[in-house]
């Protein structure tokens, strides 16, 4: 073995790590890994199951789309003048004997007397869904078939809201809230404006 010169620095001759350094390194890595694993474990235990979140979102999206596809007219959709009336005075009072414009002006959002989502007379306007809800175990499609989503509830709120220069009387904000297991809550909001002749 070749001898190092006497003036060669001692540090330059050392190779590897000492036992003390190795133990300190293992302790530091062990503490760091404990913290990381604890954080991951906490997140897993306190995050909603992705399936539950997706199901709640699907329920909310389907209900919001159903509501947004309903008519939003000045006259009741059953009124003969529904496509031509530009004011409530232009309605004949056909259908259920009332027009939707006068109900909206009076702040009477919600279904007309007797209207339901599942049986005739059916909901026939966006505003009819205000206050509509489905209890746990009673999430149903529009045909009244139970979809089997136990532990989920749904609620709808419809309010007049002015948007982008459109008056509150001619636009509605729709909020669908679905709650599910594991404290999961999904809130979706949509807007509808009149597509039949509007008031001047």
190 phi/psi in degrees, rounded to 5: -135, 170
Q: Is 44 helix (H, G, I), strand (E, B) or coil?
A: helix
Distance CA 3, CA 109 (A): 97
- For 62-78, what is each residue's pLDDT tens digit? 999 999 999 888 777 77
pLDDT band at 191; cut points 50, 70, 90: very high
CB 172 within 8 A of CB 159: yes
User: Positive or negative CA dihedral for 70, 74, 76, 77?
Assistant: negative
* Mean pLDDT, rounded, of the chain: 81
Q: What are 108's two structure tokens?
A: 């009477």
- For 24-66, what is each residue's pLDDT tens digit? 999 999 999 998 998 888 777 766 578 888 999 999 999 999 9
If you write DSSP's letter for every residue of 158-193 in order, what string do you get? Answer: EEE--BTTB-GGGEEEEEEEEEETTTEEEEEEEEEE
Total-model pTM: 0.69
Structural domain boundaries of the chain?
48-193
Distance CA 188, CA 161 (A): 16
Assess whether pLDDT exceeds 70 at residue 92.
yes
Distance CA 51, CA 86 (A): 47
């Amino acid at each position: 073995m070749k001898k190092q010169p006497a003036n060669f620095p001692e540090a330059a001759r050392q190779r590897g790590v000492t036992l003390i350094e190795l133990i300190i390194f293992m302790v530091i890595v062990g503490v760091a890994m404990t913290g990381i694993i604890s954080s991951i474990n906490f997140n897993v235990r306190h995050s909603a199951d992705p399936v539950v979140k997706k199901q709640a979102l699907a329920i909310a999206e389907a209900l919001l789309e159903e509501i947004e596809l309903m008519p939003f007219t000045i006259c009741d959709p059953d009124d003969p003048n529904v496509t031509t009336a530009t004011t409530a005075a232009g309605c004949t009072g056909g259908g259920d004997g009332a027009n939707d414009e006068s109900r909206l002006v009076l702040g009477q959002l919600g279904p007309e007397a007797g209207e339901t989502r599942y049986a005739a007379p059916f909901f026939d306007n966006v505003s009819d869904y205000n206050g509509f809800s489905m209890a746990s175990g009673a999430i149903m499609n529009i045909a009244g078939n139970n979809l089997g989503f136990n532990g989920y509830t749904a609620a709808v709120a419809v309010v007049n809201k002015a948007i982008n220069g459109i008056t509150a009387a001619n636009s509605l904000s729709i909020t669908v809230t679905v709650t599910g297991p594991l404290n999961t809550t999904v809130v979706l909001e949509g807007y509808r404006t009149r597509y039949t002749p509007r008031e001047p």
